[in-house]
Amino acid sequence: MIAVAVAVAALLVANRQESVLAGQASVVDGDTLRVAGQKVRLQGLAAPELDEPGGQAAKNALIELIRGQHITCELDGTRSYDRVVGICYAGGQDLAAELVKWGLARDCPRYSGGRYRELEPASARGLPLPAYCAP
């Protein structure tokens, strides 16, 4: 019985460690990073695609936000295409929250639960909101 409990506890600790990804990062686009070699989709964020108006600006802002920073991503256990999904931080700042506050991306309520809604300036409402963001 004790051996089973120890094995379960070890498994839980291992799973917890896998739910956090940390390291240096590079930017793929306005809502995707590559952290420690793994693509990470920023949870709850709808940034314009690179070929859409504002897409390159969102990417450039994300590059500035992570420049020289150690990035930590709390993964939620889901995947989006070839990416894991999570909330990522640089210097204690939620990267998605910063992009929304700057009007470069939108809250995606289906996945954020409205976490970034109050941060969204009126100017951001002109950015595209993908159909998959509908709650």
pLDDT in tens, 25-59: 999 999 999 999 999 999 999 999 999 999 999 99
CATH of the domain at 34: 2.40.50.90
Express as a percent the part of the chain with pLDDT over 70: 87
Q: Write out the residue range of the structural domain in which residue 31 sits.
A: 20-129
pTM: 0.84
Examine residue 7 and state whether it is found in any structural domain, yes or no.
no
Examine residue 111 and state whether it is found in any structural domain, yes or no.
yes
Examine residue 46 and state whether it is found in any structural domain, yes or no.
yes
Average pLDDT for 12-32:
79
Residue 17 has what pLDDT?
45
105, pLDDT greater than 90: yes
16, pLDDT greater than 60: no
Q: How far apart are CA 91 and CA 66, in angstroms?
A: 9
Q: How far apart are CA 52 and CA 91, in angstroms?
A: 29
Examine residue 13 and state whether it is found in any structural domain, yes or no.
no
Q: Could you give the number of structural domains in the chain?
A: 1
CB atoms within 10 A of CB 81: 7
Residue 4 has what pLDDT?
37
12, pLDDT greater than 80: no
Q: How far apart are CA 65 and CA 93, in angstroms?
A: 9
